[in-house]
Chains A and B, each alone.
Chain A
Amino acid sequence: MTYRPKLAVFKFASCDGCQLSLLDAEDRLLDVAGAVDIAYFLEATSRVVPGPYDVALVEGSITTPHDAERIREVRRQSKFLMTIGACATAGGIQALRNWADTSEYLKVVYARPEYIRTLATSTAIADHVPVDFELRGCPINHHQLVEVIAALVAGRRPRTPGHSVCLDCKRRGTVCIAVAKGTPCLGPVTQSGCGAICPAYDRGCYGCYGPVGQANVTSLADHYVNAGTSPQQLVPLLRNFNGYAPEFRKESERLAR
């Protein structure tokens, strides 16, 4: 009989977009549902099967003391823990709080901030528990998610390339907008996964899939600054969905100084 892993999907601080990517698998959704036993997935079904689970997909970042505790329980219940999306792998857009005063935010947003228990930071799941596999993206690419599930079922290594966005631009024939138009684009230091969508529509890469392995962000930033982009423009570009990923964080902090 084919191995049918018992799957759970957990949400932490996030927008739910990555979980929706699974439901967005459209023509392959029924195949996915057949290949795995969906035991816990509140976004899709109220049926809850208690743990332990073979595979846990974890969306979202850790922003509260309660979640910092809950992720440890998820880890205890899961044989294979995979984080999905930029919140889970790098802290997400909400990691902007890491450069701000959280207590000030609380005062502005909540009438009674004393009722709110939150951490001063938004951090990646891997900062709290060991993670077996990270699927990057904001949101994740559902083709990649199906690929990873297929690999888990088959017991093989997932095919989620680690190369830069540039390679995908070249494969699809997109002319480099950094070179031909002088648009600051994070493509050369960003991991592929989206299929290089933005440059094909004349927008620089926003770095949704986070830094590529051994990313040389400093060289790229220096080049853009020398070509006329101000550091003030590059800081928010680096502090997007993956702003707290170490390579982007380090460079934005250098530029902000």
Chain B
Amino acid sequence: MPAAFLEKCQLQTLFDALRGDGYQVVGPTVSQDAIVYDEIRTVDDLPRGWTDVQEPGKYRLERREDDALFGYVVGPHSWKKYLFPPLTTVAAADRTDAGWAMSTPAAAVPRYAFVGVRACELAAIRVQDRVFLEGPYVDPIYKARREATLIVAVNCTQAAATCFCTSMNTGPRCTAGFDLALTELPAGFIVEAGSDRGTALAARLPLREAGEQDLAQADEVRERAVNDIQRRMNTDGIRDLLLGNLEHPRWNELATRCLSCTNCTMVCPTCFCTSVTEVSDLQGDHVERQRHWDSCFNLDFSYMNGGLVRNNVRSRYRQWLTHKLASWIDQFGSSGCVGCGRCITWCPVGIDLTEEVAAIRETAS
């Protein structure tokens, strides 16, 4: 399908079509002084006229001078909360006269339509696909949700000070992994289809052919995002750089700043660590096995028979960064970082991994 044009006043038809097809539409909306992802019903739920200003350890909403609907970058939430929920019951057991009756709770699989997925987020979903779907162990919860999800991506037309997707080759242009991709212009949207499902959906929207002028304008606003990006991370030989500098003094210095509070891992759209615990009632007659988001920054997370493997902040931060940027490549064939900058913004003390990597590189052994 060639790129088409959707008038801004017609965007609601997309939501109506998705809802008509039985999708729960989730997308950006203003809540708690931030642009979060939540269920949206109409165009009015979108963050019209709002933008986000970000720096290490700081995020603020500000009014835009125009009425852009997608005039922000990325916020505190990521789509992983839908594809990989924070808490799931994976098994249950009930005591009966004949012994334990084991069961797998049948959770209804929600059908999500994600609206407003950025290029770095498409890359993050791709990373989690590799982790959950393409290894020897397929995660059935992720798989069911992922397959039921439709993705409407939105190209960035600006960048935050914390963005560095161009260093990670993940954006800002959406190139694959979506059903539809939108580029917002003042009068409407350039619409591209990225799948048969997207083409079929587009066919039901009141689109017109995109004119040359529209396309040129779309190129221009997308280029603005590229030019906006100031932050860089040099990834040349990054695997060997980090794994070859495990005793670098920078790790000690980092430990004086890092809170080990888990915020970076929680906001990271690719971090996937969980713990599994058995929860019983008081009589011990009903037991559930629960899986919940956990983090390599937690003390207990490295508990093994005999004690803690990573018993200080230095070793926990080092574990996170070297896994994300180095050993992830060995494990899954790509970096675990997509350059979205969330870990920089949402670190309560503003630790910036690009700065840390640069510092290690500067005095690497």
- Chain A positions within 8 Å of B, measured between CB atoms, are 2, 28, 31-32, 34-35, 146, 149-150, 153-154, 159, 161-164, 166-167, 170-182, 185, 187-189, 212-216, 219-220, 222-223, 227
Contact = CB atoms under 8 A, between A and B. Distances in A.
A167 B81 contact: no
Interface string B252-281: 000111111111001100000000010111
Contacts of B257: 216, 219
Residue among A172, A185, A212 with the highest chain B CB neighbour number at 10 A: A212
B345 interface: yes
Interface residues of B, number: 48
A159 B300 CA distance: 11
A28 B300 CA distance: 28
A227 B349 CA distance: 10
A51 B348 CA distance: 49
B283 A188 contact: no
B282 interface: yes
B298 A163 contact: yes
B348 A162 contact: no
Given A154-B284, A175-B34, A170 B60 contact: no
B87 interface: yes
Contacts of B76: 175-176, 179-180
Nearest to B290: A159
Contact of B32 (A162, A175, A188, A222): A175
Contacts of A164: 259-262
A251 B147 CA distance: 50
B282 A153 contact: yes
In the A-B complex, the 6 residue pairs with the closest CB atoms: A170-B266, A188-B261, A175-B32, A171-B86, A223-B349, A31-B282
Nearest to B61: A180
Contact of B58 (A32, A154, A179): A179
Interface in B281-327: 281-284, 292-295, 298-300, 312-313
Contacts of A173: 36, 77, 81
B350 interface: yes
A162 B300 contact: yes
A163 to B, nearest CB: 5
Given A32-B282, A159-B279, A163-B300, A180 B33 contact: yes
